[in-house]
Amino acid sequence: MVYAGTGTIAGVWLNISISVIPAETPLVQQARFFKILTTSFWDAAVACWRTKYRELFWRPITAIRTPHLRSFAADPSWTPLLSTPAHPEYPSGHQCSSGAAVYLLEAFLGRSTPFRASSEGAPEVGIRSYPNFRAAGLESGDSRLYAGVHFNKSNIDGMNLGYRVAQFIHTRKFNSVTFSSSI
């Protein structure tokens, strides 16, 4: 189980959720939101990891360092900014979680909710401002690309996978409940 404040991507999105839910939202509706969100994180992770081990796609470090048929030369000395995870690259787990959070935050608070957030993993970046949840989700994927641990397709497909999982859970399992819905 992941919790807010852990520095994991789910923890980051839990912190964002805590900060953007209106204070006047009844506790039972907040609890219901977090039940749906954490269920979505879990199911998105299951779908993500199942896909990772079905696809078995290589990481950028392998693609860049290994000579093979392509239009540019291998660079055996290239290193990513972050340590390369010891599991398959596709799809991005960060983005599976981000996609789930983006869908649910949009469903509960709207698609045009501006907010500010910071990352425990990169405090030097400071507080960031976002026009909406999708912008933050896409930036999360950019961080994986810049770190050298994912290709962009993995980020896009991972976010879409997480989004679809959360949409299914919300609409089919929890009857599209929102903060304005009656309990």
If one counts the domains in the chain, the total is: 1
Which range marks the domain in which residue 36 is found? 9-173
Query: Is residue 182 domain-resident?
Result: no
Q: Is 4 part of a structural domain of the chain? A: no
Task: Take residue 5 and report the two structure tokens written for it.
Answer: 């404040």
Residue listed under structure tokens 């929890």? 174
- How many other C-beta atoms can be found within 10 angstroms of the C-beta atom of residue 96? 32
Residue in the structure block whose two tokens are 């000395």: 77
At residue 1, the pLDDT reads 37
User: 112 and 132 in contact (C-beta within 8 Å)?
Assistant: yes
Radius of gyration of the chain, Cα coordinates, nearest whole angstrom? 18
User: What CATH number does residue 139 fall under?
Assistant: 1.10.606.20
The Cα–Cα gap between 181 and 87 comes to 41
The reply to whether 94 falls in a domain is yes
Residue 181 lies in a domain: no
Q: Which two tokens stand for residue 136?
A: 């933050």
At 165, list the tokens: 């999982």
Note whether residue 179 is domain-resident: no
- The neighbouring-strand residues paired with 27 are none
DSSP 3-state of 177: coil
In a domain, 18, yes or no: yes
- What stretches of the chain adopt beta strand conformation (E)? 115-117, 128-130
Identify whether 180 is part of a domain: no
pLDDT tens string for the chain (183 positions)?
A: 344 555 689 999 999 999 999 999 999 999 999 999 999 999 999 999 999 999 999 999 988 888 776 667 888 898 988 899 999 999 999 999 999 999 999 999 999 999 999 877 777 888 999 999 999 999 999 989 988 999 999 999 999 999 999 999 999 888 766 666 543
Global pTM reads 0.88
* Coil vs helix vs strand at 1: coil
| Domain membership flag for residue 1 | no
